[in-house]
Structure 1
């Protein structure tokens, strides 16, 4: 293993691939509610979806999980998939869409560097919908490191982005 290696700054998480119990139910959530585009199906057991026509940001499959119960909360595994929105207004738009659909949130937080909405998909996979504040606005500790925290997100204030 190489010592003192730092991953290149331009590296991104390319996609996440989720095991789901019901493919159509997952598509109804990710495409129908959140607005992702269906790019292609892989037979009847997998779908690839994206924002903006990328080959896929999220893969959904039932290869090992068709009709299975959700993974136990108190087990190792993915905590949540985080979906980054370009602007605060975009986050407000999806919040209003979720509210109008009466889709339940599990949380809403201001992290200083970002603002986030939390919910579960139909398979109880955690989903974070968020936007990042500009880097120059990120709070800093006295030593210059980034100060992240979890404060209540003002949801009424978020909706004012749509006014």
Structure 2
């Protein structure tokens, strides 16, 4: 997560002349990986996604709940490759939204059981998030959103996100 001081307040941000449709969503992410089986071991074996379709050793499409795919994984330009070096541009992280706090707790249990280290864990007021890396060093955020009526706001009604330490023991007790 970027340091809080680097985030611009909404009033200082560039605003569009006409906003995007409010129901627009990001549908899926497609990642270049060095080893497809290793990537599937993480996304399916650890996080629990299902393989929807596989193209041999070249690509696979995985999903939660039977959707055609939430994550595409391919080796078309990256088989045997290495992660981008630090301080280079590219994807910061893929964020995977869990429907409940209990579902996020289950994800944390899976990550712990697999022996995967967390890069961080934050309470942002609007959400609780876990940060880690996949086997190709792609950043992964696992999070759940609090109900919008509980989001922190300024006295004038603007969103007031924070970055505080997440109580992992408390999260693990969520059911």
Structure 2 length normalisation: TM-score?
0.89
Greater shift in the superposed pair: 38-47 or 149-158:
38-47
State the Cα distance separating 1:5 from its structure 2 match. Answer: 2.1
- Report SS of the residue matched to 2:173: helix
Partner residue of 1:77 out of 90, 112, 116: 90
Equivalences for 1:115-134 in 2 at 5 Å?
115-134=128-147
Give secondary structure in 2 for the equivalent of 1:89. helix
Matching of residues 7-156 of structure 1 within 5 Å:
7-156=20-169
Report the aligned-residue RMSD.
1.0
* CA distance, structure 2, for counterparts of residue 151 and residue 160 of structure 1: 19
Aligned length: 160
**Per-residue CA distance 1:19-48 (angstroms, 9 max, x = gap):** 000000000000000000000012421100
Structure 1: gaps of 5 or more residues: none
User: How far is the alpha carbon of 1:150 from its aligned partner?
Assistant: 0.7
The 2-side partners of 1:100 and 1:77 are apart by 29
User: What TM-score, normalized to structure 1?
Assistant: 0.95
Measure, in 2, the Cα distance between the counterparts of 1:62 and 1:138: 40
Which ranges of 4 or more aligned residues in structure 1 deviate by more than 3 Å? none
Q: How far does residue 101 in structure 1 lie from its aligned partner after superposition? A: 2.0
- Report Cα offsets for 1:124-146 as digits up to 9, x if no partner: 00000000000000000122110
Deviation digits for residues 74-101 of structure 1 (CA, Å, limit 9, x no counterpart):
1110000000000000001111121122
CA distance in 1, matches of 2:46, 2:33: 16
Worse overlay, 3-12 or 146-155: 3-12
* Alignment partners' CA distance in 2, 1:50 and 1:149: 30
